């Protein structure tokens, strides 16, 4: 697959959006639209999860769908994450297209055996006799004082696993288009939503506007430093770019949109031009997403880099409850700006 060096892939980027336009919908509603359209398009698609039907979802992403599609296709489950994720895998092996909602990414840990040992592996270990056309959606991230057990960013865990595809949308347009791609994909897709983005508004595409996996997007063009980020961290990166613009520093912000496959081509092309790179990652630093992207960039761009790659991660602690501590543990725009300054300063040493 050839990646497009062009930036906007034919649709508006997240910065040029007016939230007051009538076509503007929330990230949450964008996801709902994607599921509604795919449920209408394909009778094999069904939704399953905790409180997604009558209660309309913990974050109301499935609002209205039970009324429209009925309990056969919008299935409320017991609190049995391993059980119903495994059920989805079995249903997918027989050709259905389950879209499983885990109430949050935190509960995926309970289902990890099913995801890693079954969803990701059955196709390979059975010699290609079956596919698992399943999506597991789940919101993650921190910032709402939910404490240590409800604040995970596990992009790195899932990205580690061959057999999975991992999607991390940052805008309503991408949320809708990528979820539709995920539902139509023949392999298991981990679809990581961000709790902090559900209310974010922007334009969305139509029923056949899809985004292929592995195709990143340049959210902001710049010349001095490339900042790589996904999901909510894209917005943090853009805020940092605004701060730095006032200092005469021009940042290019790249949103790979999927972390497996990763659009290294787009990232490397940018870094070879800017010669500097900072990666922003809401997860922990050790063996994390930023570490992985940095390793790829070192391999692809070593001779072009003028300074070590900067990483901005969550603090290496379980997420604290106290508001100020939590904020201090998360990557902030100031942290990203400082990382860019430090990276650029290394050149002058």
Instruction: Name the residue nearer to another protein (CB basis): 28 or 123.
Output: 123
Shortest separation between residue 69's beta carbon and another protein, angstroms: 13
Q: What is the rounded radius of gyration, in angstroms, for the C-alpha atoms of the chain?
A: 20
User: In the bound complex, what is the minimum distance in angstroms from residue 88's beta carbon to another protein?
Assistant: 6
| Inter-residue contact 226 to 336 (CB < 8 Å) | no
Nearer to another protein, 26 or 106 (CB): 106
Provide, rounded to whole angstroms, the least separation between the CB of residue 174 and another protein.
17
C-alpha–C-alpha distance, residues 186 and 290, integer Å: 28
Q: Are 144 and 195 in contact (CB under 8 A)?
A: yes
Q: Smaller CB distance to another protein: residue 26 or 114? A: 114
**Residue with smaller CB distance to another protein, 11 or 184:** 184
Query: Between residues 133 and 331, which has the closer beta carbon with respect to another protein?
Result: 133
Smallest separation, CB 181 to another protein (Å)? 12
User: Among residues 3, 150, 160, 296, which one is catalytic?
Assistant: 150
Residue 81 a catalytic site member: yes
Q: Supply φ then ψ for residue 74, to 5 degrees.
A: -120, 95
CA 220/CA 240 separation, integer angstroms = 11
We find the least distance from the C-beta atom of residue 183 to another protein, in angstroms, to be: 14
Residues in the chain: 349
Which is closer to another protein, CB of 9 or CB of 33?
Answer: 9
Q: In the complex, what is the shortest distance from the CB of residue 78 to another protein, in angstroms, rounded to a whole number?
A: 6
| Catalytic residue (one of 37, 38, 56, 81) | 81
**Residue whose CB is less far from another protein, 59 or 298:** 298
User: Which residues of the shown chain bind another protein in the complex (CB under 8 A)?
Assistant: 1-3, 46, 72, 77-78, 80, 82-96, 113-114, 117-118, 122-131, 159, 162-163, 165, 186-187, 213-214, 259-269, 292, 296, 300-301
Q: Provide the terminal-to-terminal Cα distance of the chain, rounded to the nearest Å.
A: 40
Least distance in Å: CB of 228 to another protein? 13
Query: CA torsion angle for 314, 317, 319, 320 (degrees, to 10)?
Result: -120
Among 98, 336, 125, residue whose Cα is nearest residue 232: 336
C-alpha span between 28 and 9 (Å, rounded): 22
Residues marked active site are found at: 81, 150
């Amino acid at each position: 697959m050839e990646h497009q060096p062009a930036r906007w892939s034919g649709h508006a980027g997240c910065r040029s959006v007016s939230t007051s336009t009538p076509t503007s919908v929330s990230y949450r509603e964008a996801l709902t639209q994607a599921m509604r359209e795919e449920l209408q398009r394909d009778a094999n698609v069904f939704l399953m999860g905790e409180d997604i039907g009558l209660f309309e979802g913990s974050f109301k992403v499935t609002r209205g769908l039970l009324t429209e599609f009925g309990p056969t296709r919008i299935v409320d489950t017991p609190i049995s994450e391993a059980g119903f994720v495994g059920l989805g895998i079995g249903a997918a092996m027989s050709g259905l297209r389950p879209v499983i909602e885990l109430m949050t990414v935190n509960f995926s840990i309970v289902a990890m055996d099913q995801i890693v040992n079954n969803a990701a592996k059955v196709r390979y270990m059975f010699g290609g006799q079956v596919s698992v056309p399943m999506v597991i959606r789940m919101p993650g991230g921190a910032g709402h004082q939910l404490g240590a057990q409800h604040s995970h960013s596990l992009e790195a865990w899932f990205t580690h696993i061959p057999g999975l595809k991992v999607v991390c949308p940052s805008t309503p347009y991408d949320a809708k288009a990528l979820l539709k791609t995920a539902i139509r994909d023949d392999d298991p897709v981990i679809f990581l939503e961000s709790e902090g983005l559900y209310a974010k508004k922007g334009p969305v595409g139509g029923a056949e506007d899809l985004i292929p996996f592995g195709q990143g997007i340049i959210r902001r063009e710049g010349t001095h430093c490339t900042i790589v980020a996904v999901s909510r961290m894209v917005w943090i990166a853009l805020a940092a770019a605004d701060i730095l613009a006032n200092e005469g520093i021009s940042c290019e912000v790249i949103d790979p949109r999927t972390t497996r496959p990763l659009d290294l081509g787009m990232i490397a092309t940018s870094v070879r031009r800017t010669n500097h790179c900072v990666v922003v990652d809401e997860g922990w630093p050790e063996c994390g997403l930023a570490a992985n992207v940095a390793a790829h960039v070192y391999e692809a761009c070593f001779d072009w880099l003028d300074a070590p790659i900067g990483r901005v991660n969550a603090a290496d602690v379980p997420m604290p409850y106290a508001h100020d501590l939590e904020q201090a543990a998360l990557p902030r725009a100031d942290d990203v700006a400082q990382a860019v300054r430090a990276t650029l300063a290394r050149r002058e040493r």
